[in-house]
Chains A and B, each alone.
Chain A
Amino acid sequence: MAEDLKYAVEMRNVTKRFGDVLANDSISLTVESGSIHAIIGENGAGKSTAMNILYGFYKADSGEILIAGQARAIENPGDAIRLGLGMVHQHFMLVEPLTVTENIILGAESGSSVAIDFKQSRARVRELSTQYKLRIDADARIESLSVGQQQRVEILKTLYRGAQILILDEPTAVLTPQEVGEMFAILRSLRDGGKTIIIITHKLAEVLSLSDRITVMRDGRVVGNLSTEEATAEGLARLMVGREVLLRVEKTESKPENAVLTVENLTLESSTVHGSLSDVSFEVRGGEILGIAGVEGNGQTELIEIIAGLRPQTRGEILLEGNSIDRLDTRRRKNLGIAHIPEDRHRRGLLLDFDLAANSILGVHRNSPLSGKVLLNEQVIAERANKLVREYDVRPPNIRLPARALSGGNQQKLIVAREFDIKPKLILVSQPTRGVDIGAIEFIHKKLIELRDSGAAILLVSAELDEILSLSDRVIVMYEGRVVGQVDPRSVGEAEIGLMMTGGKR
């Protein structure tokens, strides 16, 4: 069987065009049966497009798809499911108040046309969960499950529908280090059970430890096809970006000066644990990067937004260079030199339908010489925008394009350019490289270090533990709205910090 079905999936010369953009340029790839196949590439490289074509979300303009050796026309996800494909999206598609079993059978109910055979369905869910060591309680409600468990429910859902080929889109983006380990074990056991796994990712370390084969994409084309044994992180990064990339953050010892930001007993009362803060105190000095490690949703978002003036605290004090800023609104705080790179650039950071020039003045648009008493100073704005776009290498460098037209990395570079241009004393940085390609990550990291070295205080929040540990000079860990500890980023082990992040150690 393994011989005649060597390839579970074959894509031949698949091309897909969106308007002027060639998202997939005659890509060809083969996925061996019973293997874990990674597809890597920067944002906009076309990997998600390729998988969405495979799963029937998009229709290819030309090209062929073979499933288990036979050419197939996949018109919609229903066709894909019937052919044994299953997809786990980055954003889960689960109904929170329903149980695991109810979610899994949704749309694939067994039994007669009227009654649902819950008993049989539940038994099947249990059986699958045990078989692949997913450890999911078939009767648990989704809302009571952790993010990692919810993801496993998504996998169960595809298995329940008979998937032989699983496509996972950035599966580790939402997981803690421990959960990542568990997920890898599950994926390996699925492979050993005969399933074929396709995983889309941009994290090189994960690719190297998990996959059997790797397809590298860049600018809509397949630029590399290799077995994991012959791959190195540097080599993959070079293929992805098309040039040499510095994977390590290069920095010197920090030379901390006086405290720039002091947070004292900051408390935010909230009806849920997620989104509350209790007695958070710390300080950030000029010339250092303080990292906040923690699983998302443990108060980091609220903390940053309170400091930026976007929401009020219940109690506690915030001092900038010794002066309370509690009474100041967002604009005044910005004018005092607090820059903010928000965690969600689409929701907070950009006016997507406005052009780059307009986005380049958001937050400083009332300052001279960008605007006068009444009118915006369009010429000054355009000159400044052109300068920022050039200095921060935002592509395409056309300030009349809407921000929506840019890739994630270039959008982020635009925000970084805008925020760094105010010569900040304090920089609040949240998820600076989420959804950003390697080239832009390298650039943003370098800029952050540069600003640190010029004396700015930087408060960094990131879900990427690697990023926190490699950039920060000091790291505090947050769990359920509290600071549960401080660690030295140079010496701490992943296991130790992971335990703190999940409340295991105080």
Chain B
Amino acid sequence: MKKLVRELMFPLVAVIAAFLVGGVIVWIVGDSPLLVYELFFTSAFGTIDGIGYTLFYATPLIFTGLAVSVAFKCGLFNIGAEGQLVAAAFATAWIGLVVPESWPALAVTLLAMLAAVVVGGVWAGIPGVLKARFGAHEVITTIMMNFIAAGIVSYLTQYHYRKQGDPILETLPIAEMKDGVLTGPHIPRMHDLLAPFGINFPERLPLNLAFLFALAACVLVYVFLWKTKWGFELRAVGSNPSAAEYGGISIARNTIIAMALSGMLAGMVGINDVLGYRYRYYDGFSAGYGFTGIAVALLGRNHPVGVLLAALLFGALARSQLFIDIFTDKVSKDWVVILQAIIILFVACEAVFRMKSKRKAA
């Protein structure tokens, strides 16, 4: 626990420093930093709507942050979470579109969730196999897989699963309101989940069961990496492949496992968006979740607790940007993007600082 606090210390300092620099930028632009800070906190955390949206925006980032972290723990840089989650989201919707309506909705929902995880895993597993078998660098192959996923999914959406005449690039819905009840494969929203406990969570908020999956994923990733023998092997390969090999641990097998797990986590973003929010595949639904996941993992130190906190921060920033844009005279919503960039810069500075101090000590 003490170690965890120490680990999270630096990112915390980076975030605070970034907010200070961000404040200076606001001041230079000619607005009040305090107003911007206040808008950030009240819009993201001040109301039930704020909290709901912050958590909703954080959900995909928890998945992608974990995805990047798991790969990183095995010494792999998965830049392809974006492609994995796009392929997985399409697969989720595709199950809903092709399975006969006579099937029970729950079975289709489970099948669609399975599809999300499997397709995400396969999409990342391919670069894993290429690396293990041929030594192809995963950074290159996962980037290429991103383009392939985007291309195939756009094509299928455009030419095979789009509603005739619909100008928006999206598939037909998989669940629709019938007589006031959502019918078809989907997962419940937080409103429905909390209602039995007598909690009235607003129905308008898109926060859904996937957020609880994300929390569960944090716990599972932690247990897997630090408590199981497979996690030990995976981390050993990431820490020192030669020593892992010496310890009888297969580098190739763990490379494939780590990439597949990473892709499975990224694929779960599809569950949130397709089964929990839009009930269809919408091309371009991802606001760069796969790439922001890299930043989340970096800020969260590749630790599930850190990833969770970092995703919440980024979710809060995403929630607040519209409010900051509207309720200030001169600051635009791009301020949030600048702030994210500054956070990453500071975290990266710290990596350099660490490397230097390590070298000194050696």
Interface residues of A (CB under 8 A from B): 18-19, 308-310, 329-332, 334, 340, 342, 347-354, 358, 361-363, 365-366, 371, 374-376, 378
Find chain A residues with CB under 8 A from B229 CB.
365-366, 371, 374-376
Kindly list 14 other residue pairs between chains A and B, CB separation below 8 angstroms, not including A342-B246, A353-B239: A19-B361, A308-B246, A309-B248, A332-B248, A340-B246, A350-B240, A351-B236, A351-B244, A352-B240, A362-B243, A363-B247, A374-B230, A375-B229, A376-B232
A348 lies within 8 A of B246 (CB): yes
Find chain A residues with CB under 8 A from B243 CB.
347-351, 362
Most buried by A among B230, B232, B242, B243: B243
Of the candidates B228, B235, B239, B248, the one whose C-beta lies within 8 Å of that of A374 is B228
Answer whether A354 and B236 are a contact pair too, CB < 8 Å, given A371-B229, A375-B228. Answer: yes
Q: Mark B222-237, 1 if CB is under 8 A from A, else 0.
A: 0000011110110110
Lowest 4 CB-CB distances: which A-B pairs, in order?
A331-B248, A362-B247, A363-B247, A330-B248
Answer whether A365 and B247 are a contact pair too, CB < 8 Å, given A352-B240, A376-B232. Answer: yes
Is chain B's binding surface mostly helix, strand, loop or mixed?
helix
- Return the chain B residue nearest A378 by Cβ: B227
Find chain A residues with CB under 8 A from B250 CB.
329
Q: How far is the CA of A376 from the CA of B230 in the complex (A)?
A: 9
With an 8 A cutoff between CB atoms, is B204 at the interface?
no
- Return the chain A residue nearest B362 by Cβ: A404
With an 8 A cutoff between CB atoms, is B245 at the interface?
yes
Can you offer 29 A-B residue contacts whose CB atoms are under 8 A?
Answer: A19-B361, A308-B246, A329-B248, A330-B248, A331-B247, A331-B248, A331-B249, A334-B248, A342-B246, A348-B242, A348-B243, A349-B243, A350-B243, A351-B239, A352-B240, A353-B239, A353-B240, A354-B235, A354-B236, A354-B239, A361-B232, A362-B236, A362-B244, A363-B246, A365-B247, A374-B228, A375-B227, A376-B229, A378-B227
With an 8 A cutoff between CB atoms, is B6 at the interface?
no
With an 8 A cutoff between CB atoms, is B360 at the interface?
yes
B228 lies within 8 A of A347 (CB): no
Find chain B residues with CB under 8 A from A331 CB.
247-249
Q: How far is the CA of A19 from the CA of B357 in the complex (A)?
A: 10
Q: How far is the CA of A376 from the CA of B233 in the complex (A)?
A: 11
- Return the chain B residue nearest A19 by Cβ: B361
A376 lies within 8 A of B247 (CB): no
A343 to chain B, nearest CB (A): 11
Answer whether A351 and B240 are a contact pair too, CB < 8 Å, given A330-B245, A330-B246, A365-B233. Answer: yes
Q: Mark B248-287, 1 if CB is under 8 A from A, else 0.
A: 1110000000000000000000000000000000000000
- Return the chain A residue nearest B3 by Cβ: A400
Q: How many residue pairs at the A-B interface have CB separations less than 8 Å? A: 70
Interface residues of B (CB under 8 A from A): 227-230, 232-233, 235-236, 239-240, 242-250, 360-361
Q: How far is the CA of A111 from the CA of B229 in the complex (A)?
A: 63
B227 lies within 8 A of A376 (CB): yes
A70 to chain B, nearest CB (A): 29
Q: How far is the CA of A353 from the CA of B354 in the complex (A)?
A: 13
- Return the chain B residue nearest A331 by Cβ: B248
Q: How far is the CA of A375 from the CA of B224 in the complex (A)?
A: 8
Find chain B residues with CB under 8 A from A329 CB.
248, 250
Find chain A residues with CB under 8 A from B246 CB.
308, 310, 330, 340, 342, 348-349, 362-363
- Return the chain B residue nearest A308 by Cβ: B246
Find chain B residues with CB under 8 A from A310 CB.
245-246
Find chain A residues with CB under 8 A from B244 CB.
351, 362
Find chain B residues with CB under 8 A from A365 CB.
229, 232-233, 247
Of the candidates B239, B247, B360, the one whose C-beta lies within 8 Å of that of A18 is B360
Find chain A residues with CB under 8 A from B228 CB.
374-376
B244 to chain A, nearest CB (A): 8
Q: How far is the CA of A348 from the CA of B245 in the complex (A)?
A: 8
- Return the chain B residue nearest A372 by Cβ: B229
B239 to chain A, nearest CB (A): 5
Q: How far is the CA of A366 from the CA of B361 in the complex (A)?
A: 33
Q: How far is the CA of A310 from the CA of B251 in the complex (A)?
A: 12
Most buried by A among B230, B245, B248: B248
A358 lies within 8 A of B232 (CB): yes
Answer whether A347 and B242 are a contact pair too, CB < 8 Å, given A329-B248, A363-B248, A375-B227. Answer: yes
Q: How far is the CA of A19 from the CA of B358 in the complex (A)?
A: 11
B326 to chain A, nearest CB (A): 47
Q: How far is the CA of A361 from the CA of B229 in the complex (A)?
A: 10
- Return the chain B residue nearest A329 by Cβ: B248
- Return the chain B residue nearest A57 by Cβ: B360
B102 to chain A, nearest CB (A): 39
Find chain B residues with CB under 8 A from A362 CB.
236, 243-244, 246-247
Q: How far is the CA of A354 from the CA of B237 in the complex (A)?
A: 12
B354 to chain A, nearest CB (A): 12
Most buried by B among A308, A310, A342, A348: A348
Find chain B residues with CB under 8 A from A330 CB.
245-248
A357 to chain B, nearest CB (A): 11
Q: How far is the CA of A374 from the CA of B233 in the complex (A)?
A: 12
Find chain B residues with CB under 8 A from A334 CB.
248
B54 to chain A, nearest CB (A): 34
A138 to chain B, nearest CB (A): 35
A298 to chain B, nearest CB (A): 21
Q: How far is the CA of A347 from the CA of B240 in the complex (A)?
A: 7
- Return the chain A residue nearest B360 by Cβ: A18
Q: How far is the CA of A314 from the CA of B236 in the complex (A)?
A: 29
- Return the chain B residue nearest A309 by Cβ: B248
A211 to chain B, nearest CB (A): 28
Q: How far is the CA of A331 from the CA of B233 in the complex (A)?
A: 13
Find chain A residues with CB under 8 A from B361 CB.
18-19
